[in-house]
């Protein structure tokens, strides 16, 4: 989950740059392809899954189809997402380049988003998890 949330964070920033828009013009979400839940980052920096009604849910099915959504953040849309979909390969490549080139070791707000102090202590790398997800996205399609 951390890999998807980190990849979404980085893709969101690159998508705003590529589409010449503000970051808040686009929304992002990670969820199941079936639309039964989505993940957000809570105030403590950890991803949690919620139902469509906003209730916290436990994701117990390891076979879920993780899906990363970038969407137009305006009701009815202002035409940002169709061009981004057409540029998805470039978007993923540029995002992989951004994360790979970042000078941090485990992840930071300049690439995959803030990481927890506990991740630093145990050497867990949200950055590497995000790069793995981006690599899988790059090889798909
Ligand atoms: Zn970084």
Q: Is the pLDDT of residue 130 over 80?
A: yes
Phi, psi angle pair for 103, to nearest 5°: -75, -5
Q: Percent of the chain having pLDDT more than 90? A: 45
- From residue 42, alpha-carbon distances to 39, 45, 46, 106 in Å are 9, 5, 6, 19
Please report, in angstroms and rounded to a whole number, the separation of the first and last CA atoms in the chain.
21
CA of 81 to the centre of ligand 1 (A): 26
CA of 100 to the centre of ligand 1 (A): 8
CA of 51 to the centre of ligand 1 (A): 30
What is the Cα Rg of the chain in Å?
15
CA of 99 to the centre of ligand 1 (A): 6
Q: Tens digit of pLDDT for each residue in 58-94?
A: 766 666 778 888 989 889 889 999 999 999 999 999 9
CA of 108 to the centre of ligand 1 (A): 4
- From residue 141, alpha-carbon distances to 19, 67, 96 in Å are 21, 14, 16
Helix (H) or strand (E) holding 50: strand 47-51
For 106-131, what is the mean pLDDT?
87
Q: Tens digit of pLDDT for each residue in 29-68?
A: 888 887 788 877 665 656 677 887 878 877 666 667 788 8
């Amino acid at each position: 989950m951390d890999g998807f949330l980190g990849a979404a964070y980085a893709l969101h920033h690159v998508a705003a740059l590529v589409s010449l828009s503000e970051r808040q013009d686009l929304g992002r979400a990670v969820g199941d392809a079936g639309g039964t839940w989505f993940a957000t980052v809570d105030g403590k920096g950890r991803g949690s899954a919620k139902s469509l009604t906003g209730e916290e849910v436990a994701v117990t099915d390891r076979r879920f189809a993780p899906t990363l959504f970038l969407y137009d953040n305006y009701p009815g849309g202002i035409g940002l997402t169709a061009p981004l979909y057409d540029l998805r390969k470039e978007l993923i490549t540029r995002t992989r380049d951004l994360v790979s080139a970042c000078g941090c070791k485990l992840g930071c707000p300049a690439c995959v988003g803030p990481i927890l102090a506990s991740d630093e202590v145990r050497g867990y790398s949200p950055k590497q998890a995000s790069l793995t997800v981006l690599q899988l996205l790059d090889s798909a399609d």
